[in-house]
Amino acid sequence: MRKFLVPLLLTVILVVVQAGASHVTSLPGGIVIPMPAVDYFGPGPQTFGVGSFGVTWSSTNAFNGGGATFGYTGVYGAYSFLSNGQWTGSLGPMAALNDSTDDYGSTDSMTFAFSTPVRGVGGFLNFVPGGSTPTTIAVWDSSNTLIESFNLTFSTGGGNDTGMFFGFQESSPNISYFTLTDNYVGITNLTISTVPEPSSLVLIGIGLLGVIGSARRRLEM
């Protein structure tokens, strides 16, 4: 029985692990990590979190436009994304890069670093469209190796507090860093997921049933 049990278990594990990362427009069952209302400007770091999931925010933009902003509530006025509208603060505290390559000649990023790796991450996003360089979101593992990236291209048509949810999910908790780069990109409602995706759980269940059934047949032979 052992000769057949180990290979079958390895097959199930490999199928689940190899599912890989993909960009998503929702994270069902995700946990929203509340951002504190601190109206901070600068490079950070700023720390916050829920339970065992601590988050550290930082940015490479220390000075342009007053520096990147974290926990912004709209106290100094609505945050504009030009043709993509503006955020008034009604969505809750936000983080935004507050500069672009076209305006300042430097391509900056902001990073959310997780104390415990997560399986998925995303948020409600907006950005200033039409820049000469793309607005990019990306996730990285604990060794700073890129897992997946995605360029934002959507248009909201303007208006107050518009945007879209984008993020990434993996089949296992491998995401240690979430970055957002260029063109005044902003985020509210940072959301994480920590448990295996349902399809992976079903796959594991089917695989284990196959292992058990195969083992029983061999015992009966």
CA distance 60 to 23: 24
* pLDDT of the residue at 21: 72
- 113 by Cβ neighbours in 10 Å (0-12 / 13-18 / 19+) ranks as middle
Average pLDDT of the segment spanning 153-170 = 97
- For the chain, residues classed under CATH 2.60.120 are 21-196
Q: Measured over all CA atoms, what is the biggest interatomic distance in the chain, rounded to whole angstroms?
A: 77
pLDDT band at 20; cut points 50, 70, 90: low
pLDDT in tens, 55-103: 999 999 999 999 999 999 999 999 999 999 999 999 999 999 999 999 9
* Range 21-196 classified under CATH 1.20.950: no
pLDDT, position 198: 52
For 147-159, the pLDDT digits (tens) are 999 999 999 999 9
Single pTM value for the model: 0.82
In terms of Cβ atoms closer than 10 Å to its own Cβ (0-12, 13-18, 19+), residue 20 is exposed
Average pLDDT for 3-14: 38
Distance of alpha carbon 114 from alpha carbon 119, whole angstroms: 11
- Give, in order, the Cα–Cα distances in Å from 66 to each of 40, 101, 118, 131, 162: 10, 15, 31, 20, 24
199, with CB counted inside 10 A (0-12, 13-18, 19+), is exposed
> Given pLDDT bands bounded at 50, 70 and 90, which one contains residue 204?
very low
| Amino acid symbol at 22 | S
